């Protein structure tokens, strides 16, 4: 069983009735199928408007696709009842680290929010976990009380990553996580993501329009264009050698 199975997903932002009459070219996603295995990263590459964010939303359970099925750890994500644990096993990191966080929350409260929602830790345990997470992503205890505007874009993305790994998830959806960062910070964040992946056996869906970033982190690579998966390189070897 794959960690994530996406089977024949088709989505149009218009109603079902309209979808039948609509041309494929007007669909945000057309018949998308792929799998993500445990401990691997699928890079999803495509130009603006290709359907990358729509696919991210569909997989996060935020946008029910009109056709197709998504299985996460064998469970249909859009079934009436899904196990509570599945929610915490899939986390997300977005591109714009500033608008993704509440500007009035401290680093500690941003990171501990998922812990508060899902785990019953004592205040001391929670604080220790937050400090461990900050240190794991290259920040320190002195950062706990700082607000988002006191961090650089790269530091804030580290906080978003700390928050995403706090519940020890199996899959992280990374939606353009380095696209708003300078080259140096892009490299550092990709290195951190690669380390966390091998350390914790994490899986990623890495959504990007940046081919270099995709190559730096992906084990397999898909190319999305106008809502269709036009290429799917099943192994790093395959996409690095094909011309």
The residues binding ligand ADP (CB under 6 A) are 13, 28, 46, 48-54, 129, 132-133, 136, 165-166, 168, 200
Category of 177 on φ-ψ map: left (φ > 0), alpha (ψ -120 to 50) or beta: alpha
d(CA 4, CA 35): 6
Least separation in angstroms between residue 231's CB and ligand ADP is 15
Report the residue number, 53 or 187, with the smaller CB distance to ligand ADP.
53
Report the residue number, 44 or 190, with the smaller CB distance to ligand ADP.
44
Vertex 141, ends 139 and 144: CA angle to 5°? 90
Map tokens 């809502």 to a residue. 227
Give me the count of residues in the chain. Answer: 243
Give the 3-state secondary structure of residue 48: coil
What are 32's two structure tokens? 């998308």
With contact defined as beta carbons under 8 Å apart, do 72 and 171 qualify? yes
Element (H, E) at 84: helix 84-89
Least separation in angstroms between residue 23's CB and ligand ADP is 13
Report the residue number, 166 or 221, with the smaller CB distance to ligand ADP.
166
Report the residue number, 49 or 83, with the smaller CB distance to ligand ADP.
49
- The sign of the CA dihedral 53, 32, 216, 211 is negative
| Bridge partners, residue 11, by sequence | 29
Least separation in angstroms between residue 169's CB and ligand ADP is 7
Least separation in angstroms between residue 27's CB and ligand ADP is 8
Report the residue number, 133 or 189, with the smaller CB distance to ligand ADP.
133
d(CA 189, CA 156): 11
What are 61's two structure tokens? 């359970």
Least separation in angstroms between residue 81's CB and ligand ADP is 26
Report the residue number, 23 or 149, with the smaller CB distance to ligand ADP.
23
d(CA 159, CA 151): 9
Least separation in angstroms between residue 111's CB and ligand ADP is 9
């Amino acid at each position: 069983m794959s960690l994530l199975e996406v089977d024949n997903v088709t989505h149009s932002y218009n109603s079902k009735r309209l979808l039948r009459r609509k041309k494929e070219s007007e669909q945000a996603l057309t018949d998308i199928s792929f799998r993500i295995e445990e401990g691997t990263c699928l890079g999803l590459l495509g130009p603006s408007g290709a359907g990358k964010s729509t696919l991210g939303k569909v997989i996060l359970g935020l946008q029910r696709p009109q056709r197709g099925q998504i299985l996460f750890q064998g469970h249909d994500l859009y079934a009436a009842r899904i196990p509570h644990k599945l929610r915490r096993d899939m986390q997300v990191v977005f591109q714009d680290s500033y608008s993704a966080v509440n500007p009035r929350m401290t680093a500690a409260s941003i990171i501990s929010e998922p812990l508060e929602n899902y785990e019953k830790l004592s205040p001391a345990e929670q604080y220790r976990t937050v400090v461990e997470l900050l240190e794991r992503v290259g920040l320190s205890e002195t950062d706990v009380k700082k607000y988002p505007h006191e961090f650089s874009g790269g530091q804030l993305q580290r906080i978003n990553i700390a928050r995403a790994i706090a519940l020890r998830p199996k899959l992280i959806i990374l939606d353009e996580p380095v696209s708003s960062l300078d080259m140096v910070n892009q490299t550092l964040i990709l290195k951190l993501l690669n380390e966390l992946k091998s350390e914790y056996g994490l899986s990623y869906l890495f959504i990007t329009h940046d081919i270099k970033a995709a190559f730096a982190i992906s084990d397999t690579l898909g190319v999305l264009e106008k809502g269709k998966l036009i290429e799917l390189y099943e192994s790093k070897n395959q996409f690095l050698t094909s011309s």
